Structure 1
């Protein structure tokens, strides 16, 4: 009984972190475009949208997470705790860094880690999911890029759209599309917290979507401040038409995947749409922003990170043997060493760049103090 209660606590904690990451990011466009000026209002709208999306359309993805990647027959309370614990830990780290991480990636990674430990993974379904992960964000990026070219042409041709009357209409439009995107986040992301519980027979599908949706909504409202700032303000700025395009495209793609029962990286879809808008506005300079680099690194690491954690936990606590524990410890120490080395290398390069810059400034000032004839000669 105590273990079951622990499983539910971890699931609800994970649900709140999902709300803080994916659901909050869904309203980042409306907030960043200025359609909603107060951050708390944007988060409340996000919470309502994600709850409705979960209870209305979240069932198909719950079934996939619960029994579509690994057999539900191997799931028990212990494995549910391992899956949700590995996922929640990965997502919590990302939230503390203010990074909109894909909850679908960390959850699927944790499930696959358990499946590998028991040699029971539905590889055909997994390949389909990974294919969607690769294709859908690229499609979102491309659609947003070309949509923005069209938007810029429309704004240039129809200057009257910037009049106060039409600005109000566009403001309502971007809020509605933001709500639509939050709705899609509820459809797709609630499964990540309650899917393992449903697969293990601890919850029904209907109860899981309702309870999970409620806690995802609470997470968006209470914990989503840093992520909505990252998505809304730190990547690029938007007009109202651009904000509507990003939210509408993201919602359309995520809802389509949800109807097929595919857990999709909803945050990646939204962020790739934002980057597509930024590329058509500012060119390749947007890729030099540190926040973009940080997002890409976390996206690449997150599924592997949660996979390794869940696999290690199974080997240590459920199938303990000296060989497995030794391998896990070696991998952990190697990872820590690699991270430490990368940090040291980064600091070293930063110090060298700073020294080179100081030397350049000193040389430039010396040349400015020299006579013109001597500067020409040198």
Structure 2
């Protein structure tokens, strides 16, 4: 019976990892795919490799937190572990079916918390610390990007000019005996360097996603000693990769095309800030949501950019900024208007984010952890596994 439960546990863990790959790939590489910098296939390959690197390093700390600090390790019997992982996978499957990048960390912690509340073993101090960071991290992400959008972004945009030129980025020069890559007809060194930087930072996000999310698939099995941590990380990484190559295509479309149309510079800022926050929390052992932080970065950056139409004094005096969602694709020259002198016309461009899609994403962020926590509590309140 124990062997059967272990096999079931491994299958369910693989199912969870598969759904994590589907969700996190969209968050990490959505801006790069949406900007036509990398293909979905390339994004999946990079996601697989860097998620494994993140899980193998900082991810160990998160596995320890979720595998024995929220509730004691002895609560993770094989039956309980299978049930917790099943609820996580079911909630994530629902969100991936609708093409929404769910918060896998919040969903997994919700399921474990449901077990702890039902059995009276929840460590309230650890849970309070995790929830506190869930609140603080998106706020930090929003305000960092809001400050960048208001005071720094237009100057970076004017100096760097990271717009993509028409035509292929690279071509193959076949004039010699050996074909070799060459810049496209309109590609500049600056453009090529900026695009490489976008891909590098997307890989950094994938690292952060692996560090934070691998625990969501395997922490219960590691907590009860059924699987060693190294083997668990390999299992999580492999199944995250499988999800990246398959169901991630829908979340890549949602983040890269429906939720936002990010220019290169904006993608760089969003990815850097959100990945740094999650990497820091992972080293601290805090399971946190890359999806939430990344989206709050997008909204904060656009909001900060839009508020350049008024000064702080005017805002305090009751004048509202023109809250356009078209704030990040402005073509500026070297003479950037000062804060309060920029008009709403200056901020015209493609939409920063679609309010309807944003609302749908937030709804599923709230729904998936609520479902996993409620289902877990209901099961463990009436039965002992």
User: TM-score, normalised to structure 2's length?
Assistant: 0.78
Whole-Å separation in 2 of the counterparts to 1:278 and 1:257:
25
Whole-Å separation in 2 of the counterparts to 1:13 and 1:158:
43
Whole-Å separation in 1 of the counterparts to 2:362 and 2:356:
10
How much does 1:158 deviate? 5.3
Q: 1:289 is matched with which residue?
A: 355
CA displacement 1:301-352 (0-9 Å, x = unmatched) = 2222111111112234438xxxxxxxxxxxxxxxxxxxxxxxxxxxxxxxxx
Structure 1 runs, 4 residues or longer, greater than 4 Å off: 157-163, 284-288
Q: 1:62 is matched with which residue?
A: 63
Matches within 5 A, 1:220-369: 220-280=244-304, 283=323, 285=325, 289-318=355-384
CA displacement 1:82-140 (0-9 Å, x = unmatched) = 10011111110000011111000110000010111101100000000001101111111
Whole-Å separation in 1 of the counterparts to 2:87 and 2:66:
15
Query: Structure 1 residues 136 and 159, CA, compared in 2 at 3 Å: closer, same or farther?
Result: closer
How much does 1:23 deviate? 3.4
Whole-Å separation in 1 of the counterparts to 2:373 and 2:76:
16
Whole-Å separation in 2 of the counterparts to 1:61 and 1:284:
39
Query: Structure 1 residues 234 and 121, CA, compared in 2 at 3 Å: closer, same or farther?
Result: same
Q: Is the 8 A contact 1:235 1:275 kept in 2?
A: no
Q: 1:12 is matched with which residue?
A: 14
Whole-Å separation in 1 of the counterparts to 2:89 and 2:211:
19
Q: 1:347 is matched with which residue?
A: none
* Larger helix share, 1 or 2: 1
Whole-Å separation in 1 of the counterparts to 2:82 and 2:47:
28
Q: Is the 8 A contact 2:145 2:270 kept in 1?
A: yes
Whole-Å separation in 1 of the counterparts to 2:160 and 2:217:
46
Q: 1:185 is matched with which residue?
A: 209
Q: 2:240 is matched with which residue?
A: 216
Secondary structure in structure 1 of the residue aligned to 2:376? helix
Unaligned runs of 5+ in 1: 320-378
Q: 1:97 is matched with which residue?
A: 98
Secondary structure in structure 1 of the residue aligned to 2:261? coil
Q: 1:31 is matched with which residue?
A: 33
The alignment of Structure 1 onto Structure 2 pairs a total of residues equal to 318
How much does 1:220 deviate? 1.4
Secondary structure in structure 2 of the residue aligned to 1:234? helix
Secondary structure in structure 2 of the residue aligned to 1:125? helix
Which deviates more from structure 2 when the two are superposed, residues 271-280 or residues 302-311?
A: 271-280
Q: Is the 8 A contact 1:246 1:270 kept in 2?
A: yes
Aligned CA-pair RMSD = 1.9
Query: Structure 1 residues 301 and 159, CA, compared in 2 at 3 Å: closer, same or farther?
Result: closer
Q: Is the 8 A contact 1:23 1:50 kept in 2?
A: no
Q: 2:111 is matched with which residue?
A: 110
Which deviates more from structure 2 when the two are superposed, residues 296-305 or residues 254-263?
A: 296-305
Query: Structure 1 residues 143 and 256, CA, compared in 2 at 3 Å: closer, same or farther?
Result: same
Q: Is the 8 A contact 2:87 2:376 kept in 1?
A: yes
Matches within 5 A, 1:52-201: 52-149=53-150, 150-157=152-159, 164-201=188-225
Whole-Å separation in 2 of the counterparts to 1:288 and 1:28:
15
Query: Structure 1 residues 156 and 89, CA, compared in 2 at 3 Å: closer, same or farther?
Result: same
Unaligned runs of 5+ in 2: 165-186, 307-322, 326-351
Secondary structure in structure 1 of the residue aligned to 2:70? coil
Query: Structure 1 residues 160 and 119, CA, compared in 2 at 3 Å: closer, same or farther?
Result: closer
Whole-Å separation in 2 of the counterparts to 1:160 and 1:32:
15
Q: 1:348 is matched with which residue?
A: none
User: TM-score, normalised to structure 1's length?
Assistant: 0.80
CA displacement 1:195-242 (0-9 Å, x = unmatched) = 000011111122212221221122112220111111111122122111
Q: Is the 8 A contact 1:137 1:269 kept in 2?
A: yes
How much does 1:288 deviate? 6.6
